[in-house]
Chain A
Amino acid sequence: MSDDAIRDAPPRRRLSLGGASGQIGLLAIVIGFWVVFSSLAPGFLSTFNLFNLGRSLAVDIVIGFSQMVVLATGGMNLAVGSIGVCAVMFTGFLLQDLGLPIPAAMALALVLGTLLGWLNGMAIVKTGVNSFIITLASASLYLGAMLILTKAVPYSELPAAVGAFGRLKIGTFLSPLLVIAIVIGAALFVLYRFSTLGRQILAAGANPRAAAMSGVPVDRVIVFSHGLSGFLAACAGLMLVARLGAAVPSVGGEEWLLPSFLGPVLGGTLLSGGVVAVVGTMIGAALVTTIRSGLLVLQIGNFWLQLFLGLILLFAVFVDRYRSVYAERRSTRQR
């Protein structure tokens, strides 16, 4: 590694899921916004709005997961959007040009996503170059390959069942996409909390050298995490295909970069690795989606909307921060 600056060891290495109390605080803030928005704007709680909110939230959550699993190892994956769009266009190709059945096309797209992520991981481990640089270059490579192969022509004649699934409602307003996102979250939660592999990933992320010495196969863990990240990016891509009923080249790419970091980091995942917050990522994504949707429904701003979004986001993280500082003080006093 070229990065041989000595990093100081943080006081406490928590191989935890980012502190349950922090997530409850963030959840309380999200609920607070829901109360405010729904009392100010009656349309906010309409089944129409709830359905749409849940559906866009589902995609953002999975994009966040795709970044989170790499952040756990202390790396980054700037290629999430590129892998996502590759999976999107590959699905379109398989369904429209080859006429494959939907389950087969989905499975192959997920395999492609995993493969592209795995390639990232292999390149990082074999060359020892920072994951930031490798995925920066591969983001360009993957997107470029997609452009060369598809000439950016969208696939708009997919089987009707694909778009119908995106419009499907469970009950009055629950999108199956949101259910899928939550199921993925549950699986990741189990992986990091209860499996040996999950603990190895976090250990490798917290302190690779120490982890290697205690017998963790650090390289293999990094490759696995990137493969998983690619798989999740492809999942998010498939969800978008269902959402749009078409495979479009303009989704993904750099567009996913900020949302991919927003959810995990707001939720308590550390950029330096070793800590993931699965539930936090979901709540973090929910916070952003809620604020944006609330502002839109309240019709605040128009051109100024972005300013209010930033200010409210700042306000929310301040409240969260002071709440946790206060809680910490109280708990130390009690001891």
Chain B
Amino acid sequence: MTNAFVRALACGTVLAGIAVAGAASASDNKIALIPGGPHPYFAPWEQAAADAAKDFGIATVDFKVPTDWKLALQTELLESLAAQGYNAFGIFPADPVGINSTVAELASAGIPSAALAGCTQDPSDVSFCLGTDVYNSAYLGTKALIEAMGGKGNIVHLAGLLVDPNTTLRVKAVETAVAETNGAVTLLQTVADTDAQEAADQKINALLGAQKDEIDGMIATGYIPSVVASKSLRTLGDKRIKFIGIDDDPIVLEAIKDGFVAGTMAQNPYGQGYIGAYVMDLMASGGCTVKDDAPWVKTPQTAKFIDSGTLVINQANLDTYKDDLKKITADIQGKFKDTYLNCQ
């Protein structure tokens, strides 16, 4: 806990300097950042919310968490906050399609929303999506893995919840990256539904138990399987199997440091929350709308995507990647208004 806190704090102080210049007018907007459910990934959002409120002079920026990963709970939370006068939301959709009806209703009541960290599926009324392109991240991760394996061998994919449409995209991305090697790399198996600690532990160990000699590389596209696989490889003491995870959980970083894990795809949760709050403040004040002709990235999910920064953490940049993410955050925040918004 303390680790994430210190990290977020460090980000905040660096950014404060840049931000003060942009924080011209204080606003009385009430903004909420809402993850899909309780999860360590979103912990930096709490600090990001506090920093954004301070740096940009926003009346309220709150970090509100649904008590469980259920779409119904997230929509209930959004609706009750709207009833309490919150006038802009940054949302990690608990379901990329299912959230759209709620977002549409909020929009018709004049409350703008943005998708943060993960996107909604078009057609959608979210103003934009600032996050990690799940398809691209999985694709780049697989590429990095193939490179670490020397371009050939057998890999397995540890995927998340099957009923989550994002999982389907990740499965496709891994398959595409493998197909591009023209047979040099084989995808032995995809193991799904590894989003719970205990299920992941059981499935990943069973996988290693059965085929550890045939597997040359593994890629995880979910937070939990990354953590569990990192630990399993350490237990096994196996440095032959290359592994690329996702996110910077301390267990994964430790394993990279000690050489059991080749790398991990870092995302930028702090930046997503911080920039998200900044932009939603501008939009909630009514002065700004998103430009249609801005340099949006088009992804399989949405036509209005902004990459919040993905990079591979490996032994080389283990100590410096946080600074890189900070730079990315400051960069996106600094030019966001001019690039993506029409403001009066």
A245 touches B163 (CB 8 A): no
Report the nearest B residue to A249, measured CB to CB. Answer: B163
B70 to chain A, nearest CB (A): 6
Given contacts A41-B84, A48-B79, A151-B168, contact A305 B162 (CB under 8 A): no
Interface flag for A163 (CB, 8 Å): yes
A52 touches B101 (CB 8 A): no
B72 touches A248 (CB 8 A): no
B80 touches A296 (CB 8 A): yes
B100 touches A297 (CB 8 A): no
Q: How far is the CA of A293 from the CA of B81 in the complex (A)?
A: 10
A193 to chain B, nearest CB (A): 31
Report the nearest B residue to A153, measured CB to CB. Answer: B168
Of B64, B83, B164, most A-chain CB atoms within 10 Å: B83
Contact partners of B80 in chain A: CB under 8 A:
43, 49, 52, 293, 296-297
Interface flag for B77 (CB, 8 Å): yes
Q: 1/0 contact trace for A229-244 toward B, CB 8 Å?
A: 0000000000000011
The number of chain B residues touching the other chain, given as a range, is 35 or more
B84 touches A156 (CB 8 A): no
Partner of A56, one of B64, B76, B121: B76
- Chain A residues 239 to 258 lying within 8 A of chain B, measured CB to CB, are 243-246, 248-251, 253, 255
A111 to chain B, nearest CB (A): 24
B98 touches A305 (CB 8 A): no
Interface flag for B191 (CB, 8 Å): no
Report the nearest B residue to A52, measured CB to CB. Answer: B79
A244 touches B97 (CB 8 A): yes
Q: How far is the CA of A56 from the CA of B101 in the complex (A)?
A: 13
Contact partners of B164 in chain A: CB under 8 A:
152, 250
A245 touches B38 (CB 8 A): no
Interface flag for B250 (CB, 8 Å): no
Q: Is the interface of A mostly helix, strand, loop or mixed?
A: helix
A250 touches B71 (CB 8 A): yes
Partner of A166, one of B101, B109, B121, B163: B101
Q: How far is the CA of A29 from the CA of B72 in the complex (A)?
A: 24
Contact partners of A244 in chain B: CB under 8 A:
71, 97-98, 100-101
A302 touches B97 (CB 8 A): no
A154 touches B76 (CB 8 A): no
B65 touches A303 (CB 8 A): yes
Q: How far is the CA of A38 from the CA of B84 in the complex (A)?
A: 12
Of A151, A152, A251, most B-chain CB atoms within 10 Å: A152
Interface flag for A226 (CB, 8 Å): no
Q: How far is the CA of A297 from the CA of B94 in the complex (A)?
A: 20
Given contacts A246-B100, A250-B163, A297-B84, contact A49 B95 (CB under 8 A): no
Interface flag for A16 (CB, 8 Å): no
Contact partners of A154 in chain B: CB under 8 A:
95-98, 121, 165
Contact partners of B82 in chain A: CB under 8 A:
48
B165 touches A52 (CB 8 A): no
B126 to chain A, nearest CB (A): 14
Interface flag for A44 (CB, 8 Å): yes
Interface flag for B67 (CB, 8 Å): yes
Partner of A49, one of B70, B79, B97, B104: B79
Interface flag for B319 (CB, 8 Å): no
Interface flag for B324 (CB, 8 Å): no
Interface flag for B105 (CB, 8 Å): yes
B121 touches A296 (CB 8 A): no
Report the nearest B residue to A51, measured CB to CB. Answer: B79
Of A250, A255, A299, most B-chain CB atoms within 10 Å: A250
Interface flag for B151 (CB, 8 Å): no
Partner of A48, one of B38, B76, B83: B83
A325 to chain B, nearest CB (A): 32
Report the nearest A residue to B84, measured CB to CB. Answer: A43
Given contacts A49-B80, A253-B163, contact A302 B101 (CB under 8 A): no
Q: How far is the CA of A322 from the CA of B109 in the complex (A)?
A: 44
A45 to chain B, nearest CB (A): 9
Report the nearest A residue to B121, measured CB to CB. Answer: A156
Q: How far is the CA of A52 from the CA of B100 in the complex (A)?
A: 15
Contact partners of B98 in chain A: CB under 8 A:
154, 244, 246, 248, 250-251
A52 touches B76 (CB 8 A): yes
Interface flag for B167 (CB, 8 Å): yes
Interface flag for B295 (CB, 8 Å): no
Of B77, B100, B163, B167, most A-chain CB atoms within 10 Å: B163
Q: How far is the CA of A41 from the CA of B75 in the complex (A)?
A: 19
Partner of A292, one of B76, B105, B123, B163: B76
B163 touches A156 (CB 8 A): no
B165 touches A246 (CB 8 A): no
Q: How far is the CA of A245 from the CA of B71 in the complex (A)?
A: 14
Q: How far is the CA of A320 from the CA of B79 in the complex (A)?
A: 29
Contact partners of A44 in chain B: CB under 8 A:
83
Additional A-B contact list (14), CB under 8 Å, known A52-B75, A243-B101, A248-B71 = A52-B76, A152-B164, A152-B165, A156-B100, A156-B121, A167-B105, A246-B97, A250-B98, A251-B71, A255-B70, A292-B76, A293-B80, A297-B83, A302-B65
Can you list 11 residue pairs at the A/B interface with Cβ under 8 Å?
A: A43-B83, A48-B79, A52-B75, A52-B79, A52-B80, A154-B98, A156-B97, A156-B121, A249-B163, A250-B95, A255-B72
Chain A residues with a Cβ under 8 A of chain B? 41, 43-44, 46, 48-49, 52, 56, 59, 147, 151-154, 156, 163, 166-167, 243-246, 248-251, 253, 255, 292-293, 296-297, 299, 302-303, 305-306, 309
Q: Which 5 A-B pairs have the closest CB atoms?
A: A296-B80, A49-B83, A43-B83, A52-B79, A154-B97
Chain B residues with a Cβ under 8 A of chain A? 38, 63-65, 67, 70-72, 75-77, 79-85, 94-98, 100-101, 104-105, 109, 121, 123, 161-165, 167-168
